[in-house]
Chain A
Amino acid sequence: MSARREVQLLGAVAVALLLLTGTGTTYAGWTDTTEVGRGHTVTSGDLRIEPVRGEASVRRGGATLPTSTPLLPGDVVEITTSVRLAVSGVAGRLALDATRTADAFADAGVALGTPNLTVAGLAPGPAAVDGTTWQGQVTGADDGALVTGTVQLPVRTDLAPAAQGRSVDLTATPVTWDLAQESTVAGWHDGERATLEPVTVDRVGLTVARTGAGAWKVTNTSGSASVTWGPTAVSAAPLGATTSTEATNVLSGLTIGYGTDCSTQRWQAQPGGATRPVTGTGDTLAAGASSGLCAQVAPTDASSLVRDYGARSVELTTTVTTTAAAAPTWTATGTAQATYQVAFPQPTGLTCQSGLYAVLLETPAKLTWSWADSTTKQPAVALWELVRQASDGSWRTVDKSITSSLSVDVHRSDLPSDGTTRKFKVRAYPFSTSGTVDRSVYVESDTVASLRRDVLDAPVCDGSPQPNNGPAAAPISGGLS
């Protein structure tokens, strides 16, 4: 067969095969699909803590007090905090840390004793537990467990007085819970903070408020502390023209007692110099309570005191001391002040005498008076002065040199020439300094004598002395004011 014929035959076979297979001109081929797995849901575990309770209190003896209570040495600040665990599919480590809280006390200068930390609801471990740190391991078995930590921070009983009034800001130093995944990776982590209000250490203090002459109200201003209190010392400072030496001597010449009222005495001033100790039985005051304080002051020897220091004034300063009833017996002081003046008498028995022969002899009239101790002329007077009432009613000094004779002459020249009556009285000035009389303090005779020129132009008494109604017509009674 020729080559051409072979080609023709192959073409015919190809057409036949195409017809037999029936396939078209597009190519589809085989395909198969399988599903791997079925699609799963992946679920994650839990490692959380939920806060349940957080509170703090002050334990004092058997009492539980709010943290607003000022702290006293020996108090225990107790912090209780609870969390509930949510743990599934994972192991973790729960830690409670009160280190920063305890440190805050030290930073504030409030020394603590040994802290104590206990936890209920979960076993501790593996790390050692001390007074401010704790940790325990958690697993899914602990899911839902309530874990409660109690931190006790005792304030030292020998807390230094300088700690009084110190405030410990705990808002930035909470007790913290920390729950971390037990893993080498960072993993999950949750935490809670038991934030606390600031606490303040009490300050023992008192106020002394005057309620009258030699009477005061003493108040214990401590927030928590009961105190025993009482006057513990008294001193005297000079007032006006009184000298320091005189003040000290006046103080020495006084008998001074104190009571919570003015009818009883609990405390007495003891002998001393410029400051005299006061002893007695202390009184108790609760925090915020008040009591009266009354000073009872009298000359030990009135005549001597008046004789030597008549009219002298001193400021008596009584130191009042409170002492906390409990250790470490912090103390505070206040002062109660009062003025004490020694009594000063007044001239009495003013008498006017005029002579029968006044015209011929120009005999003056004579005024005489009595003094406290007319024999010794005590108490000493810096200046005696005779004053006469002018026509306008004012009193003017009559220039006279009056010695200690307790008398003065009134001459014709001391009286108006028209026979008008003039009133006379005597003043006693107790003080002079370097020869200068202190005219601010004086007393006058209790009566006023009247004199005039008679028809013979002689000074004569005009009737009996009449009562002195002037402002200084009384002795200085002295005493407390």
Chain B
Amino acid sequence: MAETRRSSRATKALVAAAVAGLLLAAGGGTFARWYDAAPVPQQTFTSGTLTIDAATGTWTDSGGTAVANPTAHLIIPGTTLTYTTTVDVKVEGAGLTGLLTTDFSGIAGTTELASVLQVGLTLDGVAIPVEGSGTSTKVTASKTYTLVLTVKFPGQRADGSSWGTYAQGSTADLTAFKLSLTQAAAS
């Protein structure tokens, strides 16, 4: 019986509150006797930011000289073409973490030149894998990274011998290179 009484009282209280609420919401104009009002402060909410943006980079040759048109530049053994750019990463938001991932296959095709070129990639001086997207870099704060892509024609074969006339007058295509920034699940 005691339990039944407690339940009855709770029910009565909820009903009383509901009735009161309804009465307040209805705002019936017949509420005449007591009235008071107080301002509720206006609240603004701002969302976070998770963006990545690569600037247009520049190509340089082994001597550091700018290469305006890398397609027109003829690469030869013992030289390296270097592409340098900056990647602006914005990670703003409470507890927000981004995963920076590359999507790049390096050299495409089966030409002689494609078989000899060696591609390297560094992000802020740290080598990152060229191919695939299995490795990601965790980013917790906004930062501008320096991305360097190198395309190297080794000076000789692996055994130290001359290339002869191998890979002359040949072309090789660099695949499209994408960088992705993905919000990481909170840990």
* Number of residues on chain B facing chain A (CB within 8 A): 56
State whether A37 and B168 are in contact (beta carbons under 8 Å apart), knowing that A32-B180, A45-B76, A187-B163 are contacts in the complex: no
Known: A44-B167, A187-B155, A189-B164. 17 other contacts (CB 8 A): A32-B50, A33-B181, A35-B179, A37-B57, A41-B71, A41-B172, A42-B71, A42-B113, A42-B117, A43-B113, A45-B168, A48-B165, A88-B74, A90-B74, A185-B78, A186-B160, A188-B165
Cβ–Cβ contact B70 & A42, under 8 A: yes
Interface 9-residue window, one of B18-26, B36-44, B146-154: B146-154
Main secondary structure of the interface of A (DSSP, over half): strand
A30 CB contacts on chain B under 8 angstroms: 48, 50, 182-183
B91 → chain A, closest Cβ, in Å?
10
Cβ–Cβ contact A40 & B174, under 8 A: yes
Cβ–Cβ contact B181 & A43, under 8 A: no
B180 CB contacts on chain A under 8 angstroms: 31-34
Cβ–Cβ contact A89 & B74, under 8 A: yes
Residues of A within 8 A of B (CB): 27, 29-48, 86, 88-90, 180-181, 183-190
B75 → chain A, closest Cβ, in Å?
5
Bound-state CA distance A181–B160 (Å) is 15
Cβ–Cβ contact A45 & B74, under 8 A: yes
A42 CB contacts on chain B under 8 angstroms: 70-71, 73, 75, 81, 113, 117, 151, 171-174
Bound-state CA distance A439–B160 (Å) is 92
* Most interface-central of A29, A34, A48, A187 (chain B CB within 10 A): A34
A86 CB contacts on chain B under 8 angstroms: 169
Bound-state CA distance A479–B172 (Å) is 96
- What are 19 A-B pairs with beta-carbon distances under 8 A? A30-B48, A31-B180, A36-B54, A36-B57, A39-B173, A40-B174, A41-B171, A42-B70, A42-B75, A43-B72, A44-B169, A45-B169, A90-B74, A180-B162, A181-B76, A183-B76, A186-B160, A188-B76, A188-B77
A187 CB contacts on chain B under 8 angstroms: 76-78, 155-156, 162-163
Q: Give B53's nearest chain A residue, CB to CB.
A: A34
| 3 A-B pairs closest in CB distance | A185-B155, A89-B74, A29-B183
B167 CB contacts on chain A under 8 angstroms: 44
B156 CB contacts on chain A under 8 angstroms: 185-187
* Most interface-central of A36, A39, A45 (chain B CB within 10 A): A36
A32 CB contacts on chain B under 8 angstroms: 50-53, 180-181
* Most interface-central of B151, B153, B168 (chain A CB within 10 A): B168
B92 → chain A, closest Cβ, in Å?
11
Cβ–Cβ contact A44 & B54, under 8 A: no
Q: Give A186's nearest chain B residue, CB to CB.
A: B156
B87 CB contacts on chain A under 8 angstroms: 34, 36
B85 → chain A, closest Cβ, in Å?
6
A251 → chain B, closest Cβ, in Å?
75
Cβ–Cβ contact B50 & A39, under 8 A: no
Q: Give B70's nearest chain A residue, CB to CB.
A: A40
B176 close to chain A: CB less than 8 A: yes
Bound-state CA distance A183–B62 (Å) is 13
B143 close to chain A: CB less than 8 A: no
A45 CB contacts on chain B under 8 angstroms: 74-76, 168-169
A199 → chain B, closest Cβ, in Å?
31
Bound-state CA distance A180–B76 (Å) is 12
B168 → chain A, closest Cβ, in Å?
5
Cβ–Cβ contact B170 & A44, under 8 A: yes
B185 close to chain A: CB less than 8 A: yes
State whether A47 and B183 are in contact (beta carbons under 8 Å apart), knowing that A37-B83, A37-B149, A38-B176 are contacts in the complex: no
Cβ–Cβ contact A189 & B163, under 8 A: yes
* Interface residues in B58-99 (C-beta closer than 8 Å to A): 59, 70-78, 81, 83, 85, 87
B110 close to chain A: CB less than 8 A: no
Cβ–Cβ contact A41 & B78, under 8 A: no
Cβ–Cβ contact B184 & A188, under 8 A: no
Cβ–Cβ contact B178 & A39, under 8 A: no
Cβ–Cβ contact B76 & A90, under 8 A: yes
Bound-state CA distance A190–B153 (Å) is 18
A47 CB contacts on chain B under 8 angstroms: 76, 165, 168
A33 → chain B, closest Cβ, in Å?
5
A34 CB contacts on chain B under 8 angstroms: 52-54, 87, 178-180
Bound-state CA distance A213–B115 (Å) is 84
Kindly identify which residue among A39, A43, A183 contacts B155, using a CB–CB cutoff of 8 Å: A183
A33 CB contacts on chain B under 8 angstroms: 52, 178-181
Cβ–Cβ contact B179 & A36, under 8 A: yes
Kindly identify which residue among A27, A31, A43 contacts B73, using a CB–CB cutoff of 8 Å: A43
Q: Give B155's nearest chain A residue, CB to CB.
A: A185
Bound-state CA distance A189–B155 (Å) is 12
